[in-house]
Amino acid sequence: MDVVIRNANLADGQQGVDVAIEQGRIVAVGPRLAVQTGREIDADGDLLSAPFVDAHFHMDATLSYGLPRVNASGTLLEGIALWGELKPHLTQQALIERALQYCDWAVARGLLAIRSHVDICDDRLLAVEALLEVKRRVAPYLDLQLVAFPQDGVLRAPNALINLKRAIGMGVDVVGGIPHFERTMADGAESVRILCEYAADQGLMVDMHCDESDDPMSRHIETLAYQSNRLGLHGRVTGSHLTSMHSMDNYYVSKLLPLMREAGVNAIANPLINITLQGRHDTYPKRRGMTRVPEMLAAGIPVAFGHDCVMDPWYSLGSADMLEVAQMGLHVAQMTGQEAMRDCFRAVTSTPAAILGLQGYGVAPGCHADLVLLDAADPVEAIRLRAARRMVMRRGKIIAESPRAHARLSLPDRPDSVNFRLNR
C-alpha cells in the first residue's frame, strides 16, 4: 500500500477504522488492517470524510467585491444591476486570477468539487472562456462543473439562447436558467420548457435558479418538475434557491413536494445568501427566506447546500468554507435533531456529490482517495467547530495540511500553562 490512514472515524458512524490507499484509490476499509505500507497517518480518532462539494456557486463573480462599486443596499436586485455594470469591464485574465485564488481557498478547506454557474449573456462569452481555462488548470486537484447561466433571462436578454448553446458547444456541462427573472410568468414557464427540451435533446443535466423570490405565486419549480417528468429527465434536474417556497401556503406545498419527488428533481438551498437577500420587503414578522429543507428531505427529495457567493456584488463575506454553509443551514432550518444535523453535513458532502454525478466519490473500496481529515470526532462536532482541516488528500496525495486547533491557557493563579483540544 502507498498510504494507510489509521484509527479514523467515518461520517456514517464507524469508529477506529483504517483506510488503505494504493495508486490514488481506496483499496480497503476496516478496523486494524494488516497491510504493509510506505506511509502511515494516525487519524487519532478524528473524522475522515470524502471532500466537501459546493453544488451552487458563481465563480465568474467571486472576489470582485467593490468593483466597480459596493452594493450599497445589499439587495439581490442591486447585485444583479451591479453585475451588469461590471460585465463590460471584465477581462479574461482578471477572471482567471480571481477564480484560481478562490480555488486555492477551496482546496485548503477540503472543498474539491464545485458546480459554478457562468453568465452567458455577454456576447463575448469572455467569462465562459475564462472558466473553461480555470477548469483545465485546476483539474488535477479540483472538479469544476460549469452551468450555462442566462443571468438576464434566456428569453428576456438578446442572443441569450444562442449564447447558451454556444457555451455548451465550447464545453460547458449543464443547462441553466432563471425563469422568475423573465418578463412574465408565462415567459418564465416557456423558458423552462425550451431549456429542458434542449437539455433532453443534448443528454445534459439542468440546474435552474428557480423562484428566488419572496412571492408565493412564483411557482416555476412546479413547471420544472412537470417538464422533468414529461421529458424523462429524472435525477438530472435541479432547482436552486426555491425561496418562494418559504412563503407558499402549506396546502399547495403538500401537492408540490410529491410532484418534485415523482419527477426526480433535486433541490439546492443557499443558506448564507438566502437568509441575507430574502425577506427584504418585510418589516416584522420577517421571513427567514430559505426554502423548506426539512420538509423536502422528509418527502425524499435530495437537498444540498451551496455557498453561492463569496465577496461579489451580492455578498461581501465568505471564505470557501462549506462547514460555515452547513452551520448556517442548520440554524436557519432549525435542524437541531441529531439526524438532522448529520443531514446538514451530508448536504455539503455526499448529497451534492450525487447531484453533480461525481464518479468514485466516497470512503469505500474502489473510490478515489479524495479525503479530508477533520479536527473533530463526528459530523455534528465538525459543524459545531467548523473544524480545522488537518489534511486534504487528492488521489492519494496530500495537497493541504493545517494544525489541530489548540488553545493555551495562562491563568494568574496557575503558574503552568495548560494545552487542551477545543473539541475534547
Q: How many CA atoms lie within 13 A of 130 on its CB side?
A: 26
Q: Evaluate whether 372 touches 52 at the Cβ level (below 8 Å).
A: yes
How far apart are the C-alpha atoms of 18 and 7, rounded to whole Å?
A: 6
Q: Considering only CA atoms, which of 292, 287, 250, 249 is closest in space to residue 267?
A: 292
Sequence-ordered alpha helix ranges (H) in 334-400: 338-346, 350-356, 379-385
Q: Evaluate whether 128 touches 172 at the Cβ level (below 8 Å).
A: yes
Which residue among 182, 212, 324, 381 is the active-site one? Answer: 212
Q: Could you tell me which residues come within 8 angstroms of residue 190 by beta carbon, excluding any fewer than 6 positions away?
A: 155, 182
How far apart are the C-alpha atoms of 98 and 101, rounded to whole Å?
A: 5
- Angstrom distances, CA of residue 328 to CA of 149, 306, 323: 26, 11, 9
Place of cell 472558466: 131
Q: Exposure of 93 by Cβ count < 10 A (0-12 exposed, 13-18 middle, 19+ buried)?
A: exposed
How far apart are the C-alpha atoms of 274 and 293, rounded to whole Å?
A: 12
Known active-site residue 133: no
Q: Catalytic site residues?
A: 212
